[in-house]
Chain A
Amino acid sequence: MTYEIVTKGLCAGYGKQKVVGDVSLSLPSGRIAVLAGPNGSGKTTLLKTIVGQLERLEGTVILGGRELAEFGGEELAKEASVVLTGRVRPELMKCFDVAAAGRYPHTGRFGKLGAEDRRQVERAMEQLHVLEYADRYFDTLSDGQKQRVLIARALCQQPKLLVMDEPMNYLDVRYQLDLLDLLRELAHGQGMTIMLSLHEIRLARKIADVALLVRKDHVVRFGPAEQVLSRGSLKELFSLDDKGYECYFHDGALPERKKDVKAAHIPAETNVQKNTSSVQNTARVLMVQGTMSGVGKSLLAAGLCRIFAADGFRAAPFKSQNMALNSYVTEDGLEIGRAQAMQALAAGQKPVADMNPVLLKPTGHTGSQVIVNGRVRGDMEAGEYFAFRQKLMPEIIEAFTRLAKDNDIIVVEGAGSPAELNLKEGDVVNMGLAQLIDAPVLLVGDIDRGGIFAQLLGTLELLEPEERRRVRGLIVNKFRGDPALFADGVRILEERSSLPVVGVVPFTELQLEDEDSLNPRFERRGRGRIDLAVVRFPRISNASDFDVFEQSPEVSVRYVRTPEELRGADMIFLPGSKNTLDDLRWFRESGLFAAVREKAEEGTPLWGICGGFQMLGESVEDPLAAEAGGTAKGLGLLPVVTTLEKEKAQTQREGVLPPVGGMFAALSQKAYKGYEIHMGRTRFSDGADGPLPVVVERRGNIFGTYLHGVFDAEGIAGAILEALAKRKGIRVDASLLPRDLAREREFDRLEACLRDNLPMDVIYRMMGMEPPQ
């Protein structure tokens, strides 16, 4: 079915007042045409005239081969429906009735709805996600909800031509994107012709097939969207200068009204050697970006930090935005990604919040808890965050500026890949950041996962020329075997990319905590003589609590997802969770809940930490819907109940453990150090009052604590392992290396490895520095 809209010499206006003149266009069916133009340029007038709402002053409109003038009222209504901007305020009208009004041209004299009519109305309401309001009075809805009902009304009219005047009005980001998607499906999938006016040009670019720029009195341009909505014509249409354009279309900073050159903008031409960056930056910078996540950026950055520190510089890590389930709590009680904390320690520095100003902790499939400058800003859906993150730019820059003031060298880590083309707009983590802080970039590929040439060369290929110029060298990471064997590969990479391969780094197994719980730690399956099982909650957090046990060669730490995997475990951990209620439900549904309780009742020791501790109790209540809301029953192994609250408690704690009963009595009076970070309050339910002890023990084998890192202090993990060995009737060497020492040793290994395989003098020169002697 083809359905074409043609106008010839169309003039639109009111009475004798001409608003838009001489519009001649032709729009094939199944296309989306966007009208753009400044306020008062006549977009609405033109749209209304095309659908016959307003009388034409001159010219013709032809819909599907017939002249507009030939259509009767209801005939036209079957062809075209509209969404207008005026307020609609029907008295005592339910949403269903408002939407169902769209069936007007399809119903009989008294407008009675048939089954088909109802189906159409419901379908349209469902498409706009307003079916749930069907039975509510229209005037009780919010503006955005009303707008969606009105769009549903237009859809159930089943038009061939849909005309919408500013349909995004009142819609939040998520529904805007949703509507774009729906419009695209209607046009490209079902052949509906759509004309809409949009102020959000950025959205227009995403869906428009053709575009019409309207300026006072005449149509400026009509043609393919990518041509018409180009930088030049938009700048002219809206009288924008470069800064204004950058600000709106590329997330540049808002140009100030008064002249002030300090405003952050992206330099058009960048020069890496000279520090032309717009951000006040007193330190030297080096950025490590990867071809994908998991290529080893974090460890490379840590090693570089270590090397710079060893060479006598104050070096600090920086990652503008980190997505990780695990967080580290700084001395100020602020949350940052564990990777940055680890890198700071490698550089011999105390981790501070400025090293990772934005931290996203996934809380569900699409949502994350957003932590800015170490403090929780709230939970956001991906779409919501996408819009929100643009506001974070100044905070990121401020954090970086503060960090740069106190340090000589900043090692910046990118996130994921810099060539995620759909996510580039508003990028604050990879090339966008590199340009802002004027950083030379090392691009890292992971040869162990294969496709190293595609990784490195493909990524370079996808970068814009000015971005590509930022890349100063390539690194091939995780090479197994003799790097010399890769000489041919290096030559090919260098020839094809015209960039130096600054290093081929061998695969190195390091016992360092890295970015998040998606790393291979969870895949380990081998059993030690003492076997520890950690229940692998989908939203597990602070999994590094158990790292200390892995330092003993006698111990295996396994992360289990199924009841079968629990078999043979000498001790079970319920770790922390980002979402206790969700994970508790998963716990129950996976069958592990019953299996863990059974093992605990047989006497297997069971530790619950933080979220896991809450689950050990009788119930977890969420009256304020901090998580999912409602109440969930726990394992009932400890006589405690937890009430979730909106406020997050986070504190560092140290002291001496109170007397601990049961099989780990040896822990009594041991010094501990750790931190608490949780959103609930837990109290005894069996009448025992007083504050909750650091470790709650019942039945001799059930232990709960809010304290992360409780096993790290000297002697604690060892005492636990000895007790476990005794129970099992075996002897093990429970002497563990002190945590810090072990870590330092690993850092040294990392430093040595990098020094052997990276030409540090080249890297120093990249940063515009003379290599130290």
Chain B
Amino acid sequence: MGETAENMKKERKRNRRRAWIFFALALLLGLLFVLNLQLGSVKIAPDEVFGILLSGKGDPAALQIVLQIRLPRALLAAVLGGALALAGFLLQTFFHNPIAGPYILGISSGAKMAVAFTLIVFLDAGVAASSLSLVLAAFAGSLLCMGFVLFLSRKLQGMSVLLIGGIMIGYICSALTDILVTFADDAEIVNLHSWSQGSFSGSDWRDAGVAFAVVFIAFFFTMLLSKPMGAYRLGEAYAKSMGVDTKAFRAALILLSSLLSACVTAFAGPISFVGIAVPYLVKRLLGTSDPIAVIPASFLGGGVFCLFCDLLARTLLAPAELNISTVTSVFGAPVVIFMLFRKKGGDHDL
């Protein structure tokens, strides 16, 4: 059939385009990664960075900085950025709305509250909280808020109400977190305060390892969901009619997105806008919302975005550090505002 041949040709062209986009994102990720290792209050020459990475030898101070501080931090920024973008994309699929994201729906705040609570309890008991226990606490907090958001979405129609509900939940959780912080010992506050604003600082290899494990497992399962996610774009009823077990599918979306955003919050605090802006930009770049392409591309894109923002956070006012959320907001919020303008046409009700 002539049409088929022609469409095959189009498909090949599309695949080539996708391959180029992936290649460019990966290249950008590598470049930013190296820059992140290189730049900071102490600048290290690129060849020295490569030397340290390849042989593990070099100037002891530089060795210490690169391997113990910057490398885990950069890895964490990349992986958690990817996780955030992924969490955003999952929520957007779930709610059929490109403006949904873990931060906006208050899920990050719930995780934050649970983490703050855990930290204070553990510190009071004189034990250091383990990475894994923090992730679990954040996961519990995420699910709690998610449950509340779902309850709202059942009761209230319309996306705007849902978003306002999410933002209110966020405020409540932040308020509760503030109260907790107020009652905490002075020594804990400094640490807690910078964390609760969102930051990749103080990352170590143990954090990076746990984050890696959690995020890649979640990524793997998300990839497995790409087919039903594709069908779900036509709405729940059609998805069901095509054989998607919508109940299990929706539950999987919720669990995965909560796990991913919990993981991010546990290690870096709440980080705003990445979950909305990155999938949106990636979809435009690819020209499709096909999950099989958008999932990995969002993951890469989230990494690129967070590496870039963390680089700015560390270097702009060095030696002082900006909150990561401050930087992501500067870049992410305009994208969201732009989206709102684009939506004025009205194909998604907000």
Q: List residues of chain A with CB under 8 Å of any chain B CB.
A: 48, 51-53, 72-78, 80-82, 84, 86, 88-94, 96-98, 101-102, 104-105, 107, 109-111, 115, 118-119, 122, 126, 131, 134-135, 139, 153, 157
- Any chain A CB within 8 A of the CB of B227? yes
Tell me if A110 and B234 are in contact (CB < 8 A).
no
A443 CA to B174 CA, complexed, in Å: 91
Q: What mask results when residues 52 to 84 of chain B are scored 1 for a CB within 8 Å of chain A, else 0?
A: 000000000000000000000000000000000
Chain A residues with CB under 8 A of B292: 110-111
Given contacts A77-B241, A101-B242, contact A111 B230 (CB under 8 A): yes
A679 CA to B39 CA, complexed, in Å: 75
Chain B residues with CB under 8 A of A76: 243
Tell me if B1 and A122 are in contact (CB < 8 A).
yes
A89 CA to B348 CA, complexed, in Å: 8
Tell me if A104 and B7 are in contact (CB < 8 A).
no
- Any chain A CB within 8 A of the CB of B20? no
Tell me if B238 and A88 are in contact (CB < 8 A).
yes
Partner of B238 from the list A97, A101, A131, A134 (CB cut-off 8 Å) is A101
A84 CA to B8 CA, complexed, in Å: 30
Given contacts A89-B96, A91-B98, A93-B288, 12 further A-B contacts (CB under 8 A): A53-B240, A73-B240, A75-B243, A88-B238, A90-B233, A92-B289, A93-B233, A101-B230, A101-B234, A110-B292, A118-B7, A126-B3
Chain A residues with CB under 8 A of B186: none
Instruction: Looking at the assembled complex, report how far the CB atom of B10 sits from the nearest CB atom of chain A, in whole angstroms.
Output: 7
Tell me if B243 and A73 are in contact (CB < 8 A).
yes
A selection of 17 A-B contacts at a CB cut-off of 8 Å is A51-B241, A72-B243, A73-B240, A73-B243, A80-B241, A81-B242, A84-B238, A86-B235, A90-B234, A97-B290, A101-B238, A104-B231, A104-B243, A109-B227, A122-B1, A122-B3, A153-B238
Tell me if A135 and B10 are in contact (CB < 8 A).
yes
Tell me if B242 and A98 are in contact (CB < 8 A).
no
Tell me if B242 and A104 are in contact (CB < 8 A).
yes
Instruction: Looking at the assembled complex, report how far the CB atom of B238 sits from the nearest CB atom of chain A, in whole angstroms.
Output: 7
Tell me if B227 and A84 are in contact (CB < 8 A).
no
- 8 Å CB interface, B1-16 against A: 1, 3-4, 7-8, 10
Tell me if B245 and A92 are in contact (CB < 8 A).
no
Given contacts A89-B348, A122-B3, contact A109 B242 (CB under 8 A): no
- Any chain A CB within 8 A of the CB of B224? yes
Instruction: Looking at the assembled complex, report how far the CB atom of A120 sits from the nearest CB atom of chain B, in whole angstroms.
Output: 11
Tell me if A88 and B235 are in contact (CB < 8 A).
yes
**From A51, A81, A90, A98, residue with most partner B Cβ within 10 Å:** A90
Tell me if A119 and B4 are in contact (CB < 8 A).
yes
Tell me if B237 and A86 are in contact (CB < 8 A).
yes
Nearest 6 pairs of A and B residues by beta carbon:
A77-B243, A74-B243, A104-B242, A111-B227, A90-B233, A73-B243
Q: What mask results when residues 234 to 253 of chain B are scored 1 for a CB within 8 Å of chain A, else 0?
A: 11011011111100000000
Tell me if A89 and B227 are in contact (CB < 8 A).
no
Instruction: Looking at the assembled complex, report how far the CB atom of B195 sits from the nearest CB atom of chain A, in whole angstroms.
Output: 35
Instruction: Looking at the assembled complex, report how far the CB atom of A39 sits from the nearest CB atom of chain B, in whole angstroms.
Output: 20
Tell me if B288 and A92 are in contact (CB < 8 A).
yes
Chain A residues with CB under 8 A of B287: 92
Tell me if B289 and A122 are in contact (CB < 8 A).
no
Instruction: Looking at the assembled complex, report how far the CB atom of A116 sits from the nearest CB atom of chain B, in whole angstroms.
Output: 10
Tell me if B234 and A98 are in contact (CB < 8 A).
yes
Tell me if A122 and B238 are in contact (CB < 8 A).
no
Partner of B244 from the list A51, A73, A157 (CB cut-off 8 Å) is A73
Chain A residues with CB under 8 A of B290: 93, 97
Instruction: Looking at the assembled complex, report how far the CB atom of B346 sits from the nearest CB atom of chain A, in whole angstroms.
Output: 10
Given contacts A90-B233, A104-B227, A110-B226, contact A119 B1 (CB under 8 A): yes
Tell me if A81 and B241 are in contact (CB < 8 A).
yes
- Any chain A CB within 8 A of the CB of B347? yes
A273 CA to B127 CA, complexed, in Å: 111
A755 CA to B292 CA, complexed, in Å: 86
A97 CA to B284 CA, complexed, in Å: 16
Instruction: Looking at the assembled complex, report how far the CB atom of B243 sits from the nearest CB atom of chain A, in whole angstroms.
Output: 3
Chain B residues with CB under 8 A of A84: 237-238, 241
Chain A residues with CB under 8 A of B242: 77, 81, 101-102, 104-105, 157
Instruction: Looking at the assembled complex, report how far the CB atom of A63 sits from the nearest CB atom of chain B, in whole angstroms.
Output: 14
A89 CA to B159 CA, complexed, in Å: 14
Q: What mask results when residues 116 to 135 of chain B are scored 1 for a CB within 8 Å of chain A, else 0?
A: 00000000000000000000
Given contacts A104-B244, A122-B4, contact A89 B347 (CB under 8 A): yes
A76 CA to B239 CA, complexed, in Å: 12
**From B3, B292, B348, residue with most partner A Cβ within 10 Å:** B3
- Any chain A CB within 8 A of the CB of B18? no
Chain A residues with CB under 8 A of B240: 52-53, 73
Tell me if B4 and A118 are in contact (CB < 8 A).
yes
Instruction: Looking at the assembled complex, report how far the CB atom of A491 sits from the nearest CB atom of chain B, in whole angstroms.
Output: 65
Closest to B223 in A: A110
**From B231, B240, B242, residue with most partner A Cβ within 10 Å:** B242
Chain A residues with CB under 8 A of B283: 91-92
A88 CA to B232 CA, complexed, in Å: 11
Partner of B245 from the list A73, A88, A93, A105 (CB cut-off 8 Å) is A73
Instruction: Looking at the assembled complex, report how far the CB atom of A233 sits from the nearest CB atom of chain B, in whole angstroms.
Output: 31
Closest to B244 in A: A73
A90 CA to B93 CA, complexed, in Å: 10
Instruction: Looking at the assembled complex, report how far the CB atom of B250 sits from the nearest CB atom of chain A, in whole angstroms.
Output: 14
Chain B residues with CB under 8 A of A105: 242-243
A92 CA to B230 CA, complexed, in Å: 12
A80 CA to B3 CA, complexed, in Å: 27
Closest to A85 in B: B237
A110 CA to B230 CA, complexed, in Å: 10
Q: What mask results when residues 259 to 290 of chain B are scored 1 for a CB within 8 Å of chain A, else 0?
A: 00000000000000000000000011001111
Instruction: Looking at the assembled complex, report how far the CB atom of B342 sits from the nearest CB atom of chain A, in whole angstroms.
Output: 11
Closest to B245 in A: A73
Instruction: Looking at the assembled complex, report how far the CB atom of A516 sits from the nearest CB atom of chain B, in whole angstroms.
Output: 41
Closest to A51 in B: B241
Closest to A71 in B: B243
Tell me if B235 and A97 are in contact (CB < 8 A).
no
Closest to B241 in A: A82
Closest to A108 in B: B227
Instruction: Looking at the assembled complex, report how far the CB atom of A87 sits from the nearest CB atom of chain B, in whole angstroms.
Output: 8
Tell me if A109 and B347 are in contact (CB < 8 A).
no
Chain A residues with CB under 8 A of B233: 90-91, 93, 101
Instruction: Looking at the assembled complex, report how far the CB atom of B341 sits from the nearest CB atom of chain A, in whole angstroms.
Output: 16
Chain A residues with CB under 8 A of B235: 86, 88
Closest to A91 in B: B289
A139 CA to B245 CA, complexed, in Å: 26
Chain B residues with CB under 8 A of A82: 237-238, 241
Instruction: Looking at the assembled complex, report how far the CB atom of A251 sits from the nearest CB atom of chain B, in whole angstroms.
Output: 37
A89 CA to B235 CA, complexed, in Å: 8
Closest to A78 in B: B243
A131 CA to B240 CA, complexed, in Å: 25
Chain A residues with CB under 8 A of B237: 48, 53, 82, 84, 86
Closest to B289 in A: A92
Chain B residues with CB under 8 A of A118: 4, 7-8
A53 CA to B227 CA, complexed, in Å: 20
Chain A residues with CB under 8 A of B347: 89, 139
Q: What mask results when residues 30 to 47 of chain B are scored 1 for a CB within 8 Å of chain A, else 0?
A: 000000000000000000
Chain B residues with CB under 8 A of A94: 288
Instruction: Looking at the assembled complex, report how far the CB atom of A150 sits from the nearest CB atom of chain B, in whole angstroms.
Output: 8
- 8 Å CB interface, B198-241 against A: 224, 226-227, 230-231, 233-235, 237-238, 240-241
Chain B residues with CB under 8 A of A107: 227
A97 CA to B244 CA, complexed, in Å: 17
A122 CA to B235 CA, complexed, in Å: 22
Chain B residues with CB under 8 A of A153: 234, 238
A119 CA to B4 CA, complexed, in Å: 7
**From A48, A78, A94, A96, residue with most partner B Cβ within 10 Å:** A94
**From A77, A78, A115, A157, residue with most partner B Cβ within 10 Å:** A77
Tell me if A101 and B10 are in contact (CB < 8 A).
no
A101 CA to B230 CA, complexed, in Å: 8
Chain A residues with CB under 8 A of B243: 72-78, 104-105
